[in-house]
Chains A and B, each alone.
Chain A
Amino acid sequence: MKLKQLEGLLGSLEQFYNPKIELEQYPTGSHVASRMLYTAENSFGDVTNKVVADFGCGCGTLGIAAALLGAQHVVGLDIDAESLEIASENADELELDMEFVQCDIRNLRWEGQIIDTVVMNPPFGTRRKGADMDFLCVALKVASEAVYSLHKTTTREHVRRTALRDCHASSAEVLFELRYDVPHLYKFHKKKEVDIAVDLWRFVPKKNR
């Protein structure tokens, strides 16, 4: 599948009707999502025929992108039932077979080493401090091959340090910097739209944990 085609399909997905600010619910735009998964597969082979988990899947954009690129089994995890409803509908619309689990990432207990790749657009930690690192640490425990994640460019050194020192990453690489469109979603947003600089990271977990 070509990048443009992937981007087009992702752009047709339903997004949050009633986003919850305390969960930092923001849609992952099709531009960012398509590039993230396309790179994961074309540069690293981390998607096709793999088992992929989408942490904090929201409306399912990243997991759906993984399924469209031929992941064999995709599981989306989120704490919010409404988002999971939308995500299920999105997957059905595209006739994709995607699994969902409702849970809190912080007390997820996952058995075995079945998940190859975790993809995520985690909360940035603007509402609940440290949320981004919570997600990253759990992702690195669960993934056996790689974790792809988005974090604000302004937090780059903090992310690198925490990943390597506290979350048992054997490597942490910024693949590229992207502009993330944040649309006017919440009442406190003053501007119509704002561009945030985000880094797309690839982390590799330490083996033999």
Chain B
Amino acid sequence: MRLLTHNMLSSNIKGVTNGFPLRIEVEKVVEKSVDFNPDFLKNMLAKIEYKALVEASRIMGYAELPDHAEPSMLESDDFLRKFHHALMELHLEEGTLVCPQTGRKFPVNKGVPNMLLHEDEV
């Protein structure tokens, strides 16, 4: 699961109003390189929750992203490459996603998060 996907996932338990972002517990991180696509990245910066990405990338062991991002930073190749690496190339292979409101754990195995709910959570 790359962090772009993590940036879209929210806790889907009934009654949860504050389910994003899911907290990451790491067991195994894998890096997979992806072609650098600056236009795509510029588009994504406007759409993602940047703060959630920064936090997640740090938990995954990558501390290069600045705390805040401004549109002017999109002109910087250096920033774009760091953003690319954090968003697209870091994968949580094994670990857990934790609902920030209830603490409920969603396992991640072989890179696939399991968001299936139990009957009482629906």
Chain A residues with a Cβ under 8 A of chain B: 49, 51, 72-73, 75, 79, 81, 84, 88, 97, 99-104, 107-115
Contact = CB atoms under 8 A, between A and B. Distances in A.
A108 B40 contact: no
Contacts, number: 77
A97 B5 CA distance: 13
Interface residues of B, number: 32
Interface string B98-113: 0000000000001111
Interface string B1-37: 1101101111110000001110000000000101001
Contacts of A102: 112-116
B115 to A, nearest CB: 4
Given A99-B1, A111-B49, A112-B8, 12 more contacts: A73-B88, A75-B5, A100-B112, A101-B115, A102-B113, A109-B10, A111-B9, A111-B20, A112-B47, A114-B4, A114-B8, A115-B8
Nearest to A75: B5
Contact of A104 (B37, B48, B117): B117
Nearest to A73: B4
14 contacts: A49-B39, A84-B112, A88-B112, A101-B5, A102-B112, A102-B116, A103-B114, A103-B115, A107-B117, A108-B115, A109-B9, A109-B10, A110-B10, A111-B9
